[in-house]
Chain A
Amino acid sequence: MQKNHLTALFFTVFVCFGAINAWASDPKKKGDTPDDRKSEVSAYVKHHNLDTHDFGLFSYTDDQGHHHSVGFPLPVILWSDGLHVFSSSALHHGEEVVASGDKFFKLDAHTYKIYETDAEGTFSYDDKHHVTNVAPLDFSITKSVFMIMVVSVLLFWIFSSLAKSYAQNRSIPKGVGRFFEPIVLYIRDDIAIPNIGEEKYQKYMPYLLTVFFFIWFLNLFGLTPLGINVTGNIAVTTALAIITFLLTNLTGTKDYWKHIFDPLGHGMPWAAKIPLYIILIPIEVLGIFIKPFSLLIRLYANMQAGHIVLGSLLGLIYIFQNWIAGPLGFGLSFAISLIELLVALLQAYIFTMLSALYFGFASESHDHAVEHDGEVQHL
């Protein structure tokens, strides 16, 4: 738990700075009325949760009212009748058009998406104020991709060095391994084995361990005030859920499929089963897709909601600007960030746990199926 304490400490310090920044920034330049500030905070929180093409560390508004962002650029990789690669600094946060090859690209500052434009960078909008320009295929190394890389390297470094320390140290963990080994064992003994079973859990272990630490680490990074929101991004959770879906169905045993397409088993004549199966089989088939879908929505919604709540509470300080809202907003956001610290772990646990449960369904052997049928009949 030492690490968590450290993380919490870091976070407290960051929140303090964030609060002071918000407190100190001069609101009179842009919006004087609370409504202006409200919409500004709302937009800020919304943008804070979006993926961006550069890595922004912080931003400020100078005395002249110019907005400055401090960070570092990341490579933009686009595919539109050929490959277009340039640094995200060329986009200037959507203020300038980038010419690459015979194409022109511009960033839409509201959605942080890159569109193809003409040389002047004009956007055309539909009646709902959505950009209708052609969007190139965007394979940029965005902030989220960058963080995925950072976390991947971090995980690889931590766990390969743990593995090495075992080889050198007669299988006794030391240092950071003392913290991580119980978690690895917990995932094996309390998530994988009870859900999947003693015989078959081993082939799912690499995925379960990786997905747990990957989600947990990214969730923790999401609690830093760097605007990292990888696990709160629908594309990331979709990718994770699809892997769970594929692993579940590709390793599904005969009994698993039988359970879906013949859930009532031998106990009933076919004539009686057919009318029931008209309803049951579509439900079971739908269930195959709903299970991973619930995984992706749960993780996405929890992390996204946490970020919005934290951002909004900090925004309260900025909106009300008085001596009550300041400490209150700070206190509440501190409390919420403590809860978020728990949620970060909890969501990683739930994703891993449910994945293991689905793998358990997929790899159930005949014995289990019989037991299960028995239960159903009792019910």
Chain B
Amino acid sequence: MEKLLGEFSVGLFFWQTLLFVALILLLKKFAWKPILDAVNEREQGIKDALDSAEQAKQEMANLQADNEKLLKEARAERDAMIKEARDIKNKMINDAKEEAKGEADKMVAQAQAAIESEKKAAIADLKNQVASLSLEIAEKVVRENLSSDDKQQKLVKNLLDDSSLN
């Protein structure tokens, strides 16, 4: 302890204190304050940049979500439109089919009616021809058969037999 006190120099203590305090004050003004301010500012800048990047990312995500939603809506709308179109198409086809069928039925019916009437006319015609033919034949036959009395009597007799059968 005595040695320590012996080594203690008041002059050195004085200069050390004076110079060191001056150094602190000078460095504070010209070095530490600007350095720490600059570092803080830079860190703040980095923080802000990170924050805004995060924000941009968030916005991007939101935008993407919006897009997704829009896309989904569009897709749904498209599906609905396609379905509607399909329905319309089907309906049109069915309507056309029905109409065609009605028309066809009508035409068939008309054709049948025409066929029927033609058939009737033909039948009637045929009947007339058959009747006239029959008359001619009958006339010829009668003329032949009635050329003799026997034959006439036989005929009358047959006719009478038939009639009696009736």
Contacts and interface: CB of A to CB of B under 8 A. Distances in A.
Interface of A: 50-51, 77, 111, 130, 137-142, 144-145, 148-149, 152, 155-156, 159-160, 162-164, 166-167, 171-172, 181, 184-185, 188, 202, 205-207, 209-210, 214, 233-236, 238-240, 242-243
Interface in B31-58: 31-36, 38-39, 41-42, 45
A267 to B, nearest CB: 40
Contact of A206 (B6, B11, B12, B27): B27
Contacts of B32: 159, 205-206, 209-210
Contacts of A163: 30-31, 34-35, 38
B163 to A, nearest CB: 144
Contacts of A242: 17
Given A181-B39, A206-B28, A235-B16, A137 B21 contact: no
B118 to A, nearest CB: 109
Contacts of A233: 7, 9, 12
B4 interface: yes
B11 A239 contact: no
Nearest to A202: B36
B12 A205 contact: no
A233 B7 CA distance: 8
Contact of A214 (B4, B23, B31): B23
Interface string B136-165: 000000000000000000000000000000
Given A156-B30, A159-B31, A210 B9 contact: no
Contact of B15 (A111, A130, A141, A166): A141
15 contacts: A137-B10, A148-B15, A148-B19, A160-B30, A163-B34, A163-B38, A172-B42, A205-B32, A206-B28, A209-B32, A214-B23, A235-B13, A239-B13, A239-B20, A240-B16
Nearest to A142: B12
A138 B9 contact: yes
A149 B45 CA distance: 37
A111 to B, nearest CB: 7
Given A160-B30, A235-B12, A149 B19 contact: yes
Nearest to B3: A234
Contacts of B22: 152
Contact of A234 (B4, B27, B33): B4
Given A163-B38, A166-B38, A234 B20 contact: no
A152 B19 contact: yes
Contacts of A206: 24, 27-28, 32-33
A31 to B, nearest CB: 25
Contact of A152 (B23, B33, B36): B23
Contacts of B11: 77, 137-140, 142, 145
A60 B7 CA distance: 26
Contacts of A171: 38-39, 41-42, 45
Contacts of A152: 19-20, 22-23
Given A160-B30, A184-B35, A184-B39, A51 B12 contact: yes
B127 to A, nearest CB: 123
Given A142-B12, A233-B9, A243-B17, 4 more contacts: A130-B6, A144-B12, A171-B39, A205-B32
B13 A238 contact: yes
B27 A239 contact: no
Contacts of B14: 139
B34 A214 contact: no
A213 B110 CA distance: 120
B37 to A, nearest CB: 8
Contacts of B30: 156, 159-160, 163
A237 to B, nearest CB: 9
A238 B23 contact: no
Nearest to B34: A163
B7 to A, nearest CB: 5
A139 to B, nearest CB: 4
Q: List the 5 shortest-distance A-B pairs measured between CB atoms, nearest first.
A: A159-B31, A163-B34, A206-B28, A166-B38, A239-B16
B3 to A, nearest CB: 10
A235 B10 contact: yes
